[in-house]
Amino acid sequence: MIKSKTALLCLAALLAAAPLAAEEDLTKVYSDAAAQWLDGRPEDAAGALKYVVYRSSDQGLTSAALLDLAALLAEAGKNAEALAYLAKAELLSPEDFYVQLEKGWNLLSLEKFQDARAAFEKAGTLTADQDLANQARFGLGIAEAQLGGPAAAISELRSVYSRYPYLLSPTAQLIGADFERLKKRPHAVNFVKEALGYDPRNIQAEIDLAQLYEDSGFFVPAWQTYYTLSDMDPGERDFADKEKKLRKYVKGKIDNLLYWARMAWPEHKEAPPRDSGPAVKVGLYAGRDGVPSLVKSFSFIAACDFDIVDARLGKVLAGRSGMQWTLAYDELNRVYRVTDSMGATAHTTNNTLRIVPKVKGGVILIKNPELPGAHGVNRGDKEISGELTALVRDKGWWLINETSLETMVSPVTAQQASGSRMPEQLKAIAVAVRTRLTRLARAAGHGSREYDLCDSSHCLPYAGLQAESSASAAAAKATRGEMLTVAGGAPAPADFHRACGGFTREGVDDAGRPLPRPLTPFSFYAYTLKGPPDGLLCLPEDKTAASDVYWTLMLKPRWIESRVNRISKVGYLRAVIPLGREPSGRIKAVRFEGTAGTAVVEGDDAIEQALGAGALRSTLFSIRPVYSGKYPDYFLLRGIGTGDAHGMCLLGAYGLAKARGASYRDILRHYYPLYKVGGGRR
């Protein structure tokens, strides 16, 4: 009898423990699903989450799995299925804000606008968090456009536009579209221009503005905008065709009506100091690949007397300071022609030419370069120091500037600081710029041996000496010779980017909002719904200018599928699926699913090019399609930060200097804790 009782007690204990063991196993299944998602296997993750939902008796675990599953399904465009799981989640948590918000977006894609509006309205009543409340109002404004019409939508969206700085650009874009529907094109133009003002990288707003200008009969600004788009995305035939069609309305020289800097005279009259570091050769007017563009003609003004040296004949001409000369390829006669300040031909050749100032490091202003066929290249006038080589190529030249590395530090620092005059920030940037230029100059970064560096983002953008400010010049002088070094004294990588959004890739904390742990499909998506914390170092004081830190884009599929179809035939786009994320949440690859096939794009540059023609700020974003019938109407990207997040956060350096009184060495230690600063000459 005692044995029977003991056996029964043991059996009861085993039965009681069985559900717990099962729940523990399901917790592991849930954890494995998150790992599969991070690893780039969303379908496997969805399968594991479904298993958890149907097997778990733990309400918390089930609710989490339901939200993750709904997020994955919505991302893939399976909105009806996502809604079915959200209905289960609502039974468990009827007052959950996120359940209602997600219902709203899925209902919107299913064109159930009345129900979507009700879900967004209910979501707004379930939170006091202004980030979340404004996300609900934003969705409500989109639903209202289909129900009450554009005027009602504008009224709803104005509440977001006037109160919430982190959705300014997409809200202005939507208001502009609603005004266009009301045939109030001047209002539409103003709001779309504001969308670009709040986020200059909002490529969809740029496209919308071009179309609005054209439809409104503003042909010159339409041409300018299509030219910009064609320069960003030269493979897009629609932009190129519109630019060509509208060019007939342009009077005068085309380049002078664009955004290229034009200068009458050199700003710098004196040569830089002679102790300006090692000499480097810089390939000018380089493209994104680091190769100089072909220059068919250009003019120049030297700030001192100069000689022109023919590579075969030696010195052939001498010129005076302040006089404008021109070099041009004569296609009819197939020769390279030098024209003096009086417009007379002074020399013809088929050889490389050098313009050599008689004062070492003398300043030369390059004016009006003609770059046929170049795209994504800054064609502005450029002030340089040192010799200028016009290296003969087929029907034009490469322009190579032999100068001192140190003369580049101040102007590049000023460019990276975007007008900031914060001394300690500028000093930190100057040290990083000097280090990076030195490291790049020593590396075999270019296929050609004709130059060490280029003036594009392939190395570091370099607009010319005229880009420097008095503050950047002071910072370069104060840190002259200082560099970041690794063990052994070699220059460190010294990477930097514009805004990390909270954390660099090396794990430096800039008072950002910590990522949720565990990182799951829904927890990451919810993370991107929240605006940046007030104490974030890279957050500007004017939060209306916060698009470097937190951004939202509404991208039309037409332009994405056009870019992707150039790589692989996908047809009409149906879904854009992230494949794999780093522990930081950054996307590693994207799968584009279309009517004719799929294509996978990997790596930051390729992803940014496919989605935004290179204008995408970072790969730290969530993506949510909103459908109209069977096809996406647009893709809603909610992103964080600008750049690759490696090394120093430039805006964070400003925040450290201003908010915490950090010195430049404090800033460098903060972002580069493993490197040393040395080599300065006082």
Q: What is the pLDDT of residue 681?
A: 57
Identify the CA nearest to 436 among candidates 652, 647, 679, 293. Answer: 647
Q: What is the pLDDT of residue 596?
A: 97
How many Cβ atoms sit within 10 Å of the Cβ of residue 477?
14
Helical (H) or strand (E) element with 206 = helix 203-216
Buried b (16+ CB within 10 A) or exposed e, 333-357: eeebbbbbeeeeebbebeebbbbbb
DSSP code for 590:
E
Q: What is the pLDDT of residue 468?
A: 96
Identify the CA nearest to 578 among candidates 41, 69, 102, 83. Answer: 41
Which tens digits make up the pLDDT trace of 141-194?
A: 999 999 999 999 999 999 999 999 999 999 999 999 999 999 999 999 999 999
Q: What is the pLDDT of residue 261?
A: 86
Per-10-residue mean pLDDT for the chain, 682 residues long?
A: 39 40 76 96 97 95 97 96 97 96 98 97 97 97 96 96 97 98 96 98 97 95 95 95 94 76 92 80 95 96 97 96 96 95 95 97 96 90 97 95 96 96 98 96 82 94 96 96 93 96 96 95 97 96 96 98 96 96 96 97 96 96 96 97 97 97 97 90 50
β-partners of residue 404 are 279
List, edge to edge, every strand of the sheet that includes 631-640.
550-555, 631-640, 621-628
Identify the CA nearest to 387 among candidates 347, 340, 352, 354. Answer: 354
Q: Name the CA radius of gyration of the chain, rounded.
A: 29
Q: Which CATH superfamily is 31-249 part of? A: Tetratricopeptide repeat domain (1.25.40.10)
Domain boundaries, the chain: 31-249, 279-485, 521-640
Tokens of 444: 């075999």
Q: pTM surpassing 0.75?
A: yes
Max alpha carbon distance in the chain (Å)?
A: 122
Identify the CA nearest to 526 among candidates 22, 36, 102. Answer: 102
Alpha carbon distance, N-terminus to C-terminus of the chain: 95
Tokens of 438: 């030195």
Q: What is the pLDDT of residue 260?
A: 83
Which tens digits make up the pLDDT trace of 268-279?
A: 999 888 666 789
